[in-house]
Structure 1
Amino acid sequence: MPSMDVARSRFRLGDDHVVVLFSLATGETPPDEMAPARSELRERGLLNQADELSHLLFPLLQTLISPVVAVSLELAGRQGKLHHGMFIGEDHVVTHEAWPGEAESEYACVEPSMLLWALADMVNLRRTAPAPSPDDVRATVVETTVGTLDAGLSALETMPLTASGHEEREHIRNALAAGGPLDGHTLSTFTDMIAELRSSWRMTAVWQRRPGEPDSVAARAFAVWDCGPLGYWHRESPKEPVEAGQVGPNTPLRLSRVPAARVWELITETLPSAEEARTAVSYV
């Protein structure tokens, strides 16, 4: 069911609710199959019986309809895949965050000057995350193939939650060793990384440089592994943005350990510059 928090301009909405609201806000008739979602929106006071939108939704829908920049965050972890994101408009910034196992996402209006902090919070970025130590014998760069990675992740997925850490690591290590050549330090590090993997995520920002020209869409993206006590690892290859069909088992994979400050810089660099944003704004 949809719901709202008036005090903090937050809304819990499923995909069907968003389709209904978007259709009504743009003067369209919602599809017939969206009738249950329409009824739920009425029940919660986001629509009246005449299908007029609550004024509380105006900043949210205005931004969703005409964003200047759209940011997509695809996150995968042991609880499955989640999709978060942000829409940056001329006047408002809207975030949406999913919750494991729930149909609704939380949509919220955030202070524009805090958008970087909002994105960092979505990926649980922590300045206190461990940084590489000069005394650490683990590798700080891992180079292998996507096929070897898939073998390691598949091994992790087959392990029961009741398995001991030693059993889990041994199973992953054997799968990685069979998947491709890795030297001792790299094999040990990669085994620990997969065992400690909290999430892997990809952030993509898109905006349009010229009106009415599909080829004028600009995009920047990057991908990171959050390995908990082993810190953050930037996936340098395959380099984002990656198109469908570009990656196969033999595609080179390179992961480099980076401090939290570098992840913050990557988030900043992915967003359009002030000049790029001004150009995009002029075409909304």
Structure 2
Amino acid sequence: MNICITGAGGQLGQSFKSLTGAYPQWQFHFADRSIADLSDLSTVDQWLEASQPDVLINCAAYTNVNQAEEDEALARQINVDAVEHLARYCSRKAIPLFHYSSDYVYHTERGIPFRETDATAPKGVYAVTKLEGERAALAAHAGTTVIRTSWVYASMGHNFVRTMLRLGSERDELKVVSDQIGTPTYAPDLAAASLQMLQAWRQGTVSGEDMAGIFNFSNEGVCSWYDFALAIFELSGLECTVHAVESHEFPSPVERPHYSVLNKTRIKKTFQLEIPYWREALGRCLAAIGQ
């Protein structure tokens, strides 16, 4: 089975690369922006024609939440138009498409973990385009699997964990918001769950119909960004005092959700997944970094 993965240079794409050895029966084909640029669909089509996927996994996205407000055209091109293009390709070929979305699409004051069927209320260009992208993909191809996730990080790339480690080594104290509540997601755990989903489908324990649609995924547990920062310093052994502050102390062109915990019942029951607790996942990430 040929599995083709876009966005290979990002955190999630690189996490898939790290797991290929566990699936020697499958052939993986990775494309970063230099090979398949979602802002230039001709390059995507050329790569797909050469790779002939049996499954397409889209890890590419426009993820700069603040910059998207000034670069809406490009954000829409990558998060909506290109995603629909990939879905149409998968529909013509009758192959599964995996696509990743965001907890930002919910953004309501529900106050309890969000289910996939709960109302959405995206705020800002990034959130709006992520929701439009998943809707476009689902409309274009019934075999689309959308996975909404949150607070993604890895041992590589630009993310909260690496930023805290850098700042913690440079400063004696930091301010971190404590009024945004969610759950971190370790990118290798998200990639591993995705491959387990595909394996269940391939083995026939889950049908293509059951695999399609929207699923929530994050690590288990709940924390604030403040709690997350404290855990990073505790587990890494860095000495840095963290002060809890409110979001208004960090003005932003985009309002972040104050509560975006994801209910993962559907994905766990459908695929019999055991999802690691966020602190345990953080420990593995720090070990991979060398902390």
TM-score range relative to shorter protein: under 0.3
TM-score computed with the length of structure 2 as normaliser: 0.23
TM-score computed with the length of structure 1 as normaliser: 0.23
Higher helix fraction: Structure 1 or Structure 2? Answer: 2
Higher strand fraction: Structure 1 or Structure 2? Answer: 1
